Amino acid sequence: MRTGLFLAISAGAALTAQVASAQCGAVFSFADFSSSNGLTLVGDAATNNGKLRLTPSGVGGAGAAWYTASKAGLNAGFRTTFRASIQNGTADGFAFVIQDAASDAIGGTGSDMGYSGIARSVAIEFDTFWCCGEFDGAHVSVQTRGPDSNTFEDSASLAHAFLPDSFTDGSSHEITIEYTSGLLYVRLDGDTILFCPLDLGQLDNGGQLYGDNGCAWVGFTAGAGGASADQLIESWDFTDWTNVACGPLTPDQFEGPQDTPQTGDRVVFRSRVGGPGPRYYQWKREEIGLEEGPRFLGARSEVMVIDPFIPADAGSYQFSAGNSCAGYGIGSIQVGILCPGDLNGDTYVDDADFLLFLPAYDTLLVPPADPRCDWNGDRAVDDADFLLVLPYYDKLLCD
């Protein structure tokens, strides 16, 4: 059941953070590509019928398109939305890339997707032709080797998720990528499909990946080999939070899980905020600010993931946001948890459940042990979890 949407706004103090001043900044919008002013096109990239074509079908090659009117300032975060389609074939894929190598950088063809070989780069790849030990299926992945030359190989992936079959059916898809220090996430046609822990300030052996206080080029790359496709970008909006004028924020949406979670579930909290930045976020439980940790990702982002969700996580959650002008908080949503310990769903915690708990207790590690038996979320089913189960086992009947 959907909960917590469009809750009342209460007054809140602006959150504060120190953001290093940068000598760059980028806010731009291409409704289409009838004009390529501000772009540097490299390799096979070209504008065609109002679209940015990164590779043409029928031939292998690589293309890149960089916004070079100014570098983007990344320390304070950014949001980009674009529409893309893959037509007349399915290979090999394209990527949104942040890099500080050169304004005309380009990588290899085929599986290299135009970004492999570019140093000081982070690529969010949409890989539609997998080979050579890559993830077994069309996927989105965040690829980087820090200051070294990037590669499409799985070893460079920080996080990945598989794409739906519809991604390569020739239709147009809207993709949003948002980065707040600590987390990058990707939305496809309105659904959040990838969460990636990421801090650009720590990718160069614990230091800043991009010089000049986080300034880098942003753009797209693509590659094709024996198989090919017209890989098209149809529109593109980009906003970093470096030099945006101050102004009020508005909450658009605040929601918790759609259904009551059970122990071991991956639970997602979402909020969407309108208005200028830099913007700062904070998720809370019982009015206490949450911190990043092994189970908490995005505690200071618009989207937060708790994985795994454990009985101790049930309670009320709050979200607040702010910029240098003002801030607001949104009222609480209550998130419960399905009866812990009731592994067979009969509303009792009894010997039948205990017999289901024992195999996980013997297996120990999650996975393959049943995540519903990992009550403290440490990815192991052991004595600590057994002691947490006992009170429910003694109580017998679920509340």
Show the low-confidence residues of the chain (pLDDT under 50): 1-22
Give the three-state DSSP class for 171.
Answer: coil
The backbone torsions φ and ψ at residue 156, rounded to the nearest 5 degrees and listed phi first, read -95, 0
Preceding omega of 308 cis (within 30 degrees of 0): yes
Give me the pLDDT at residue 137, please: 87
Convert the pLDDT of each residue in 194-220 to its tens digit: 989 899 999 998 899 998 778 999 999
- Number of Cβ within 10 Å of residue 228's Cβ equals 23
Q: Which residues are 157's β-sheet partners?
A: 143
- Alpha-carbon gap, residue 398 to 51, rounded angstroms: 58
**Could you tell me the strand order of the sheet in which 250-255 lies?**
250-255, 267-274, 303-306, 296-297
Topology of the domain comprising 27-240? Jelly Rolls (2.60.120)
Write down the domain spans for the chain. Answer: 9-16+247-335, 27-240, 351-395
Whether 280 contacts 16, CB under 8 Å: yes
Give me the pLDDT at residue 245, please: 65
Convert the pLDDT of each residue in 96-131 to its tens digit: 999 999 999 999 999 999 999 999 999 999 999 887
Q: Name the burial class of residue 133, with classes exposed (0-12), middle (13-18) and buried (19+) by CB atoms within 10 angstroms of its CB.
A: exposed
Preceding omega of 391 cis (within 30 degrees of 0): no
CA atoms within 13 Å, Cβ hemisphere of 274: 4
* Backbone conformation region of residue 89, classed left if phi is above 0, alpha if psi is from -120 to 50, else beta: left
Measured torsion, CA atoms of residues 274, 212, 17, 194, in degrees rounded to the nearest 10: 50
Query: What sign for the dihedral angle of Cα 227, 230, 236, 242?
Result: positive
- Alpha-carbon gap, residue 141 to 154, rounded angstroms: 9
Whether 7 contacts 318, CB under 8 Å: no
What superfamily would CATH give domain 9-16+247-335?
Immunoglobulins (2.60.40.10)
The reply to whether 9-16+247-335 and 27-240 are identical in fold is no
